Amino acid sequence: MKIFSGESNRPLAQKIAKELKTSLSDIEIHVFPDEEKRIRILANVAGQDCIVIQSTSMNSDKNYMELFFITDALKRSGANSITAVIPYLGYQRQDHVFRPGEAVSLEVIIETLEAVGINRIIAFDLHSARIAGSFHIETIELSALSLFARRIVENGWNDGNTVLVSPDMGGRRRIKAVSEMLDDMPYVLIEKNRDLSTGKVTAQAIQGKVLPRAIIIDDMISSGKTIATAVKLLKKNGAKEVFVFATHPVFSRDSKYILQQSGAKKIFVTDTINIPQNKRFRKLEILSVAQKTAEELKKVIGY
């Protein structure tokens, strides 16, 4: 078995390799002045089961292209199989037509991932239940939710004063799963609306009873507007302190300031996406998905 990393999330790739008691194999990624890339595999991969770790977060297009080229180079070098660990699957929110005339970007991405010769995909917390089933190759969805439940217990927040919160109705499946992991901890659902033209987020109502400690669970934070709006509404409805757990720190644009200034006490995310120093902020804590990923790789590759 050989493990390679693209450039999007080397820190996670290194941690996964360490968990597997190995190191990353050599690859040369040359960037031309016009930003095109030349990929060259330097390790001997003939007959080997290969793993490529690449998060397809910002800049998604660039990171996807790199993954496609690494896959092609591995195939041409005689790899036996290619497992792509895509901790954050970019374009997953565009999984159907929201308004007439739109592209279904995720479908194009899936077709390309399959066409370049990837045999298996491993990804974390997909945006909707139907995404894994849209692939024709083996697709394994791992989840950070158990890491969140464990941290909630470690922090003693399972003391009867806590309510779990889904910041939108689409998160019902997720919030129910966490509630079950925590002996049916109560949960509430927020009725959120996002204007698709302006991006403006509004939250009208909460279904259920808010308790003094509220813990928001979400799959990703991008602009931070969903979290900021949810925290405000929860506080208005009686929450004294609000914590946030989200798997993917997409952290676009001004999210750092929006999140730091939100009334949330602490924001937990994972390392499915590498967060550069300039996007980090005081309230942020990062949990690692490396061990979970390595355990799954041991199972599927038989390492």
Q: Mind telling me the catalytic residues?
A: 192
125 contributes a contact to ligand R5P by CB under 6 A: no
**Structural contact between residues 46 and 58, judged by C-beta atoms closer than 8 angstroms:** no
219 contributes a contact to ligand R5P by CB under 6 A: yes
Q: Which stretch binds ligand R5P (CB under 6 A): 15-23, 62-70, 162-170, 204-212?
A: 162-170
Cβ 93 to ligand R5P shortest distance, Å? 6
Cβ 190 to ligand R5P shortest distance, Å? 10
Query: How far is Cα 116 from Cα 119, in angstroms, rounded to an integer?
Result: 9
Query: How far is Cα 24 from Cα 22, in angstroms, rounded to an integer?
Result: 7
| Residues in Cβ contact with 138 at an 8 Å cutoff, skipping those fewer than 6 apart | 119, 120, 121
Q: Which stretch binds ligand R5P (CB under 6 A): 2-10, 13-21, 43-51, 164-172?
A: 164-172
Among 6, 87, 90, 224, binds ligand R5P (CB under 6 A): 224
Among 165, 217, 221, 242, binds ligand R5P (CB under 6 A): 221
Helix (H, G, I), strand (E, B) or coil at 171: helix
Phi, psi of 292 (to 5 degrees): -60, -45
- Two tokens at 22? 């190995």
**DSSP run (H or E) holding 41:** strand 37-41
Closer CB to ligand R5P, residue 85 or residue 227?
Answer: 227
Cβ 167 to ligand R5P shortest distance, Å? 6
- Among residues 222, 109, 104, 99, the alpha carbon closest in space to that of 168 is found at 222
Helix (H, G, I), strand (E, B) or coil at 260: helix
Among 49, 225, 233, 290, binds ligand R5P (CB under 6 A): 225
Q: Which stretch binds ligand R5P (CB under 6 A): 135-143, 165-173, 234-242, 264-272?
A: 165-173
Taking the CA atoms of residue 91, residue 96, residue 100 and residue 102 in that order, the dihedral angle to the nearest 10 degrees is: 20
Q: Which stretch binds ligand R5P (CB under 6 A): 11-19, 209-217, 224-232, 275-283?
A: 224-232
Closer CB to ligand R5P, residue 37 or residue 232?
Answer: 232
Site residues (CB under 6 A) for ligand R5P, limited to 170-189: 170-171
Cβ 111 to ligand R5P shortest distance, Å? 23
Angle between helices 10-19 and 290-297 (to 10 degrees): 50
Which stretches of the chain bind ligand R5P, using CB under 6 A?
A: 167-168, 170-171, 201, 218-226
